[in-house]
Homo-oligomer: A and B are copies of this chain.
Amino acid sequence: MSEISISPHRIAGVRLACVAAGIRKNGRPDLTLVEICPGATAAAVFTRNVFCAAPVTLARRHLAAAMPRLLVINAGNANAGTGEQGLADALTVCQEAGARLNCAADAVLPFSTGVIGQRLPAEKLVSALSPAIAELRDDAWEAAAHGIMTTDTVPKLFSARVDTAHGPCHITGITKGAGMIKPDMATMLAFIATDAKIGQSDLQILVSELADRSFNRITIDGDTSTNDACILIASAQGPTLSPASPDWPSFRAALEGVFCELARAIVRDGEGATKLVTVDVRGGQAEADCLRAAYAVAESPLVKTALFASDPNWGRILAAVGRSGASGLVLTDIDIAIGGVRIVAGGEPVPGYDEADVARVMAGAEYIIEVRIGQAATHATVLTCDFSYDYVKINAEYRS
């Protein structure tokens, strides 16, 4: 079995660079390039927010037209809500980058993250392209993980190695995101690469399915970003893999591990978050009912402030499930446990239940809330965090 690690494996065929283009204040790095070798495949999922940002529109269009040779990622400006001008600015950056790399503009995918509604300073990005290209290296994953951060407090990087019958295969992924997080197809910028050789259609299935099990199961504030994107690259420098390969299951498991750890790292770094809480709902008429109930609990401001206070206020959990819209809810079906301590059974408090046991669990930094809403063999899990003073502080002061 593969092991998920936080020290990055290089991915043959993928080089990265990160420089300061002057979009963010204080000279912090804000332009990240990811160069991909010819012959690689790539697949992506993007935000379902109808008002997606200009770079999302353009990246979708370019990815449909050509295999990407370069990702250009800027922090500090989302290029969202910027209309035709925003599209033109993003295209300028792609054209200028393509010219410097001897590839077509549609082999360049743009990604932006930061403030919505301000014009992208394309000229600053263009000026920084040549210096950044000169710095491309295959060991710059950690620098790239830093370069794509906005309100994130820590970089998010995970890596895995899978030994296949045709030699070792590597996976490295980075992501960013701490607010405006309820991905509805993917999350706010995740870039995952492997050196395996994988056909494009298999890769698209992989990225869609794994994003559904990772980035699409987290929430910080219920706000789906305009810029979410998750891209998976197979550089084709290592073993050839397909769903028919004997090594596929172990490769897929390792890749899922990287996706899930990246998603988990986003919630752990949620704006102002002090807790990482798994909401696990079982037994709904359909998996969608479990998911609806799980999101209602995971997004309730009342539940989230109780998590912050380490207060076993299970009535708020019950109330959230009750308004969730999950089908077939009956009070006498409901069981609730926190950190394995059974609190509610059959819709009523468990006799002899000691609140102090639960308060002890909730004083910890990570725990699970389990809710049973029926007897069916269905199941859904959502990761969430608490709602603290610092969430308000960060979002009241951001931009100022």
Q: Which residues of A contact B (CB under 8 A)?
A: 48-52, 78, 80-85, 115-117, 179-180, 182, 184, 221-226, 299-302, 305-306, 308-309, 311, 313-316, 318-323, 329-332, 334, 344, 346-349, 387-389, 391-393, 395-397, 399-400
Contact = CB atoms under 8 A, between A and B. Distances in A.
Contacts of A313: 116, 399
Contacts of A349: 81-82, 117
Given A302-B180, A329-B50, A334-B51, A319 B223 contact: yes
Contacts of A318: 51, 80-81, 116-117, 226
Given A81-B347, A85-B348, A306-B396, A116 B319 contact: yes
Given A117-B349, A322-B51, A349-B117, A309 B397 contact: yes
A320 B223 contact: yes
Given A78-B315, A344-B81, A396-B309, A51 B223 contact: no
Given A83-B331, A334-B51, A315 B392 contact: no
Residue among A224, A347, A395 having the largest count of chain B Cβ atoms under 10 Å = A395
Given A318-B116, A396-B309, A348 B184 contact: no
14 contacts: A49-B319, A80-B315, A80-B318, A81-B315, A81-B347, A81-B349, A83-B331, A179-B302, A180-B319, A221-B301, A222-B301, A226-B318, A308-B392, A311-B399
A309 B396 CA distance: 5
B316 A223 contact: yes
Nearest to A179: B302
Contacts of A82: 348-349
Nearest to A394: B305
B395 A392 contact: no
Contacts of A302: 179-180, 221, 223, 395
A104 to B, nearest CB: 27
B226 A305 contact: no
Nearest to A48: B323
